[in-house]
Amino acid sequence: MKTHDFMALYGGVYEHSPWVAERVARVAAGIVDVGRLAELMADCVDNAATEQQLALIRAHPDLAGKAGVAGELTEDSTAEQASAGLDRCTRVEFAKFRALNDAYKEKFGFPFVMAVRGRSRAEILEAFSTRLQNDYDVEFETALEEIHKIARLRLEAMGAEG
């Protein structure tokens, strides 16, 4: 598979970060095993410069945030947040999410990232509150781990073999 074709297929796996697919295209072209492809892409991110990792984390939208309400999320993010019911929050839940999003970004300088597919709003809010207690380094690594989970779920949803 040519780099262009690989990019067209996998460029959106990491939120607004096609550089991941671009960097692994040469070694991953032709790989259909979702586990191996996810591993290669995660390795690329894990070996990127800290500034690029931070930009990747910051590319993620707030959960149940303004972009979701305004319909400005990517198709994948929209589906992921809807699968967790984040598009059906009560006013009280939206207020909780807004307050937690603000507190989290104030403390860490990047948005709270969690692979929410298959999770409930209550589970997400609990994780939010718990993770707010972490220090920066732990939360930076946790955000990257969650991003890798999201990428793997997106690859699986695309129908890659595995």
Q: Give, in degrees to the nearest 5, the angle at Cα 20 between 111 and 133.
A: 25
Q: Which one-letter amino acid corresponds to residue 122?
A: A
Q: At what angle do helices 19-28 and 34-46 cross, to 10 degrees?
A: 130
Q: At what angle do helices 19-28 and 3-10 cross, to 10 degrees?
A: 130
Q: Which one-letter amino acid corresponds to residue 93?
A: E
Q: Are 150 and 13 in contact (CB under 8 A)?
A: no
Q: What is the DSSP string of 16-35?
A: T-THHHHHHHHHHTT--BHH
User: What is the set of active-site residues?
Assistant: 60
